[in-house]
Amino acid sequence: MVWSCNTGSSAKAPSPATSMPELLKVDTNSIPKDKYGEMVRYGRELMLNTAYYIGPDGVNGHYLGNKMNCTNCHQDGGTKAFSFNLMLSHQEYPQYRAREGKVLTLAERINNCVTRPHNGKPLPLDSKEMVAFLAYLRWINSFVPKDKPHQGSHNLAVKLPDTAADPEKGKMLYQEHCARCHGKDGEGQLAGVSYTYPPLWGPDGYQPGSSMHRVIKQAQWLKANMPYDKATWNKPFLTDEEALDIAAFVNNDSIHARPDVKNYDYPHVAEKAIDYDKGPFADTFSARQHKYGPFRPVISYWDQHGMKASY
Ligand code: HEC
Ligand code: HEC
């Protein structure tokens, strides 16, 4: 089993039984009962009920362009293992981001999610809401074991097949395993201020510039987390190929419209993630191959040309 994943890190698979790395988790009962704790608590509220506070009809501001909550992707408020876990983030920023071609603070990185998956406008960096997000991320970071190996900070890896992901197969699998919650047309199920089941495409879904729109990236997340009531990180429901096929269907722009964005960034093409389908590219492969694969020839090409493929 590969437990670390997509960042090219050299982490090894854990050996079984006793030396199993600790699964990341937090204890929300231990939030301090002081001013700092108040901000942590508000930050957690914002992660869980983002649309209620800062959605299109938010009670504390109108920043998001849709009614999704951060926790729809960063589950359990960013603390669920293998679910775009955010427990390391506080210690890893400021960080160079290939997407913008510059070093970003954690606050700026949060705003990228406010703007792209939430199709919104950035929070002022000194707003109470931004400070609360940062306080919360600092607090969850305090649960990362400092002296023991841990797991779940990155999503599971998926094995990349020799063939391209197939949106047609993905469509059938979607109707079989996903439509009962997310709807036949990916519209989700709105319950007043936010969703019981969030939308997967359409005007209220994430933007095409979001990382969730990348086929490999989404498949890695689906593997441990969807279908919601069936998959767990140590007992995935979908095979790797099924996860890739479904992600290809969900992210097929020729049939699924999304809120439009004009700026796809990555000023340096050789730093572009290989499953990011917006050209120009640092190689000779088509936009279609960057979207659906097969990805292994792309990775080999990058290796041969001394470039580091990320996905
Ligand atoms: C549609 C899914 C989705 C939603 C909704 C979403 N995010 Fe993200 N977020 C992602 C993905 C995908 C990444 C990239 C993770 C990766 O590359 O492994 C990410 C990355 C991040 C990171 C950087 C993590 C790191 O350590 O580098 C932060 C911080 C973050 N999101 C915060 C938020 C906050 C706060 C919200 C709510 C305002 C939010 N996100 C909503 C999908 C989402
Ligand atoms: C039993 C209901 C259920 C089923 C079945 C299900 N999901 Fe979900 N899905 C959810 C819920 C609930 C969330 C939000 C998770 C949260 O807030 O903790 C979610 C979130 C998501 C998200 C991230 C948020 C967004 O809207 O972009 C994606 C992507 C997703 N599901 C895809 C799928 C796919 C693909 C399948 C089929 C393989 C699937 N889901 C099956 C309930 C379900």
Residue 289 in domain: yes
Residue 7 in domain: no
Q: How many CA atoms lie within 13 A of 135 on its CB side?
A: 22
Using the mean position of ligand 1's atoms as its centre, give its distance from the Cα of residue 279 in Å.
23
| Domain termination site, one of 99, 119, 151 | 151
Nearest CA to ligand 1 atom 35: 110
Among 29, 31, 27, 72, CA closest to 49: 72
Shared domain check, 106 and 138:
yes
How many independent structural domains does the chain possess? Answer: 2
| Domain termination site, one of 98, 128, 151 | 151
Cβ(51) to ligand 1 under 6 A? no
Shared domain check, 165 and 147:
no
Using the mean position of ligand 1's atoms as its centre, give its distance from the Cα of residue 211 in Å.
8
SS3 at position 273 = coil
Closest ligand (CA of 47): 1
SS3 at position 189 = strand
Closest ligand (CA of 118): 1
Residue 246 token pair: 């479904």
Q: Residue 247 sits in which domain range?
A: 158-311
Say what the pLDDT of residue 6 is. 44
Using the mean position of ligand 2's atoms as its centre, give its distance from the Cα of residue 200 in Å.
8
Q: How many CA atoms lie within 13 A of 303 on its CB side?
A: 7
Nearest CA to ligand 1 atom 18: 84
Shared domain check, 213 and 93:
no
Residue 9 in domain: no
Closest ligand (CA of 220): 1
Averaged in consecutive runs of 10 residues, what is the pLDDT profile of the chain (311 residues)?
39 56 95 98 98 98 98 98 98 97 98 97 98 98 95 98 98 98 97 95 95 98 98 98 98 93 87 95 97 98 97 95
**Substitution candidate for ligand 1 out of 113, 119, 141, 258 with most atoms within 8 A of CB:** 113
Closest ligand (CA of 256): 2
Shared domain check, 145 and 174:
no
Shared domain check, 74 and 98:
yes
Please give the number of the atom of ligand 1 that sits closest to the Cα of 72. 5
Nearest CA to ligand 1 atom 11: 211
Shared domain check, 170 and 136:
no
Say what the pLDDT of residue 7 is. 43
Please give the number of the atom of ligand 2 that sits closest to the Cα of 71. 17
